[in-house]
Amino acid sequence: MPKKIKYKRILLKISGESLKENGYSCGIDFKILGRIAQEIKEVTERGIEIAVVIGGGNFWRGINASALGMERAAADYVGMIATVMNAVALQDALEKKDVITRVMSAITMKEIAEPFIRRRAVRHLEKKRVVIFAGGTGNPYFSTDTAAALRALEINAEVIFKATKVDGVYDKDPLKFKDVLKYDKLTYLDVIKKDLKVLDLTAITLCMDNNLPIVIFNITKDGNIKNAVLGEKIGTIISREVS
């Protein structure tokens, strides 16, 4: 018997880092990209409306460039352009699987992406098109986590799914330490007080103020996008209350 759909409209935040193979400094692994596209297709086939915010960390990290002396605003704009590169690549992978997709950019690039217009984005979703939001918020000093929270609220998404390379939130970096504690559930205030850094402060505050739940999960495991969206107990849920 098919599992009952838990959500109608979701925002999937994909880190740029998750598009590259471990050990590579930058770029896109097209095998990984194809798998992600296939899982997104399986989600849409269940009637779920899905928007995607994609990072650019596989090509560029503005904060790192700024630390090395580049002017912060310029470094952030380069990072926004990197997200457009990933968005166009994901669009291509999805359309090869017959998934109608639109890229909307906060930075005007009319030859390759539509400008972000909230009503148009919602209309695309209502028509069951996958919408990929690129270019971050269009402003420097804001991360793609903040862009994900902002876009999720603008399109009235029911939840944010943040896809990373670890299977949830830990008290310490599980890639660096062995004696770690994994949290199955957290409140927004827990994340802030414990300084867990799973999302930046602006993003977590936006979600807290608007009671928008967040699920952090591992995108590298086959089927996890579908499992997360269908409400399987994977990753870590961040919400107003821990029940």
**pLDDT classification of 25: cutoffs 50, 70, 90:** low
In a domain, 41, yes or no: yes
pLDDT score recorded for residue 243: 64
User: With contact defined as beta carbons under 8 Å apart, do 132 and 91 qualify?
Assistant: yes
User: With contact defined as beta carbons under 8 Å apart, do 6 and 231 qualify?
Assistant: yes
Q: Comparing C-alpha atoms, which of 4, 2, 1, 10 is closest to residue 158?
A: 10
pLDDT score recorded for residue 22: 67
Domain of residue 57, CATH code: 3.40.1160.10
User: With contact defined as beta carbons under 8 Å apart, do 134 and 106 qualify?
Assistant: yes
Residues 6+ apart with CB under 8 A from 232: none
Residue range 135-189, pLDDT digits in tens:
999 999 999 999 999 999 999 999 999 998 888 999 888 878 888 899 999 999 9
Does residue 117 surpass a pLDDT of 90? Answer: yes
In a domain, 219, yes or no: yes
144-154 vs 118-126: helix crossing angle, rounded to 10: 70
In a domain, 56, yes or no: yes
In a domain, 44, yes or no: yes
* Angle, alpha carbons 191-199-239 (nearest 5°): 50
In a domain, 3, yes or no: no
pLDDT score recorded for residue 1: 41
Q: Which residues pair with 14 in a beta bridge?
A: 54, 163
In a domain, 217, yes or no: yes
Number of domains in the chain: 1
In a domain, 207, yes or no: yes
In a domain, 2, yes or no: no
Which contiguous run of DSSP H or E holds residue 216? Answer: strand 214-218
Print the domain residue range for 36.
Answer: 9-239
Residue range 54-98, pLDDT digits in tens:
999 888 877 777 777 889 999 999 999 999 999 999 999 999 999
Alpha helices for the chain (secondary structure H): 30-44, 62-67, 72-95, 118-126, 144-154, 188-193, 201-209, 224-229
